[in-house]
Structure formats: C-alpha cells, structure tokens
Amino acid sequence: MDLESFHTISCSDTYKNKNILPTIDDVFYLLDKGKLKPKIPTKEEARKNAEHFYKPLKWVTFLDYSEQLKNYTFPFFIEKIPNRIVEGICDQTHWREADYHIFMKNFLEKSKISSNSFFMKLISVSPKDYLGDSMQLTSIQHSLDALTGSIRCFEDLVMLKDIDKAYIVLRPYINIVASEERRVFVKDKKICGISQYFYDQNFHYSPVEKEQKEKEIRYFIDTNITPNMQLDDYVADVVTWEKIQLLETNPFWYSDPCLFKSYQSLDGSFLVNER
C-alpha cells in the first residue's frame, strides 16, 4: 500500500478519534470491502522507482563486472529472463511454467552446468530467504520454486522488470565452508572493516590464523579488486580457502554490516565472533 492510502486511512474518523494506527488486518478488510483504492503507479512512475532502486547496484552486479574482475571470482553466466516469464511471475497472470523450464534447460546446457547441482540468483539478490542454509538447487523446478517463493526475489524482479534488467546469474554449486567466508567493507578505495560473514557462529580462529587471513584478504582486495572496481565505495564477500576468491560485490551502506552492527562503527579492524 502506498503512503497516501495509509495516510487516508490513518486520518479517517475511525482511527483519528481513537489516536491509533490501522493494523494490516484493517487494511485488508478495507481493501476487500472496496473502501480503499490503492494508488497504482503509472508506467513512467514505475520506471523512475525502479531506476532509483537500481542506482546503488550500478557497478556491483555481475552484469557490470570487467574482464579483469572476472579473473578473481568463480565462473558465472548471465542470461536475460524472457519478458513473458517475468511478466507472468510479477503480475501473477496466467503463464506456462513450461516456458521457464525450456528457458532454464537451454541456459544450463549452454553454460555446461548440471541441472542437479547449481546456484542461481537475480543480478541483485539470491533466494536465500526461501532456500535457507543450503543454496544448492537440485532441479529446474527447484529453481522455479525458489525464484517465485522468495519474497526478496519477487520484490526485486518487479523493479528489474520495469528497467529491463531481469537477468539470472548461474554458477555451478560450490559448497563453501562457512568459516572461510568474509565480508570486506571498502570506503574511498580503502578497507574500513572486515568481518566474518556468518557472524552468529564462533569458529574459534587462533590468533595466528586470524592474522594470516587478514593479511591475505587485505592484499587481495587492495591489489586485485579495488583497482578493477568502478566505485570508490563497495562491499566484497570473499572466500579464503585454497586461494582467496571474490564471491560477489554489494553496495556500500545497503549490505549487512555483520559484526560491526552499523556502518558508523566501521573502524578498519577485522572482527570475529569470540563469544
């Protein structure tokens, strides 16, 4: 519901006299009774909203990776989702799931990725809210269920549709060890913080291991990633096993600060959970 509609309900005599705000049940009741008419944005308004949504993502999605940057990450493949599929998912209109199956089958075959074990995301977000702990997809139907069952993906797909950027990213599934994933915060091309990614867990790093990992991460980011980024500020997720590799990049200010709790508390240190 848009703010104008919410304000209309809130200022009505029913709620103003009681000095309370309407609950979500109240809103659904009024919608059902036809007493509330949500404002539907025009195509131009929808496009401007989508452009505003996408602005922080410019230069951090796989769509914008340079050839040099691709050398430091895992292999990935990008394909635009056909409009009829995107519109069918977003508008909840009648569409054939078979169209998605054909699209994904061709995409997997072209990418030479097994349909029994792969990773998929939109260029903006993954369906981790649907999949939970394991991001491994084991069939094309599984990927469709994840894409349509993820609130994160649905919300972003609506925006991406309006600026013609509804792309899917595929990778062979990689079973990443949780203790080896780190999040690096870069501001003005300088590292301003490093945190373990799965910050609720204590991996019992030894002081020597922590020091060594920090040195490796700083060298990797300063030497290989920052010089090839089109931004001064960004967030990088890296995996530090065998050799360090970039997992993905995200916009600064918009990504989980992990153990730092907030971006204001970034102090250049390397934080691990020792509780």
Q: What is the mean pLDDT of the segment spanning 172-187?
A: 95
- pLDDT tens, residue by residue, 82-97: 999 999 998 877 778 9
Select the more confidently predicted residue: 14 or 99.
Answer: 99
38 located within any domain:
no
- Contact between 235 and 253 under an 8 Å Cβ cutoff? The reply is no
Does residue 28 have a pLDDT over 80? no
Looking at the predicted structure, is the pLDDT value of residue 177 above 80? yes
Residue 255 domain-assigned (yes or no): yes
With b meaning 16 or more CB within 10 Å and e meaning fewer, what string describes 102-133? Answer: ebbeebbeebebebeebbbbbbbbbbeebbee
Is 161 a residue whose pLDDT tops 60? Answer: yes
Return d(Cα 47, Cα 36) in angstroms, integer. Answer: 24
Number of domains observed in the structure of the chain = 3
Q: What pLDDT does 36 receive?
A: 61
Output the pTM of the full model. 0.84
pLDDT at 263 over 90: yes
Residue pLDDT, tens place only, 70-128: 999 999 999 999 999 999 998 877 778 999 999 999 999 999 999 999 999 999 999 99
Q: Is 153 inside any structural domain?
A: yes
Q: Are residues 150 and 251 in the same domain?
A: no
Are residues 162 and 184 located together in one domain of the fold?
Answer: no
221 and 183 in one domain?
Answer: yes
165 and 185: one domain? no
Check residue 38 and give its pLDDT. 64
Q: Are residues 24 and 107 in the same domain?
A: no
Tell me if 18 is assigned to some domain.
Answer: yes
Amino acid 29: pLDDT: 64
Query: Does residue 41 lie in a domain region?
Result: no
- Domain extent at residue 26: 3-32
Is residue 39 domain-resident?
no
Rounded average pLDDT over 146-156 = 95
Check which CATH number belongs to the domain holding 242 and give it.
3.30.470
In a domain, 37, yes or no: no
97 and 82, same structural domain? yes
126 within a domain of the structure (yes/no): yes
Instruction: Answer yes or no: do 102 and 200 share one domain.
Output: no
